[in-house]
Amino acid sequence: MADRITLRGLRARGYHGVFDFERRDGQDFVVDAVLHLDTAAAAASDDVGDTVHYGLLAERLVEIVRGEPVNLIETLAERLATECLAEPLVREVELTVHKPSAPISHEFTDVAVTVTRGRETVS
């Protein structure tokens, strides 16, 4: 499937990490989601009901980032990907969680985990 909806740079403050100070102070996380779906029905109808309402999805993703803390961004990425797949039209999602303020003692630009998850096709 060639159609994609891409949401990049969704920023929210969360309290994830293995260190106490990360859980206490929090930090910003950045989420990128690439949704794979068929957009033909939406293009034909020009109706948001025939596609993924990315504004509403963004709200749900932000709530997950702001929600229950986890140790690893791998776990956070999995939760976010699962939420994307809750959208009936989404067949696959590539979900990246960036942790630009990760506690690393050297200069760096970004730390990110990307997961790709798909829906099993039922015949």
Q: Give me the active site residues, please.
A: 99
Domain 4-118 has CATH 3.30.1130.10: yes
Q: Tell me, what's the pLDDT at 1?
A: 56
Give residue 120's pLDDT: 72
> Nearest CA to 111 among 45, 24, 16?
16
pLDDT tens digits for range 68-121? 999 999 999 999 999 999 999 999 999 999 999 999 999 999 999 999 999 874
Q: What is the pTM of this model?
A: 0.93
Spatial separation of the C-alpha atoms in residues 57 and 82, rounded to whole Å: 12
Question: How far is it, in rounded angstroms, from Cα 78 to Cα 14?
Answer: 15
Q: Map out the domains of the chain as residue ranges.
A: 4-118
What's the rounded mean pLDDT across residues 10-18? Answer: 97
DSSP H helices in the chain: 20-25, 40-45, 54-66, 73-85
Axis crossing angle, helix 54-66 with helix 73-85, rounded to the nearest 10: 150
pLDDT at 5: 98
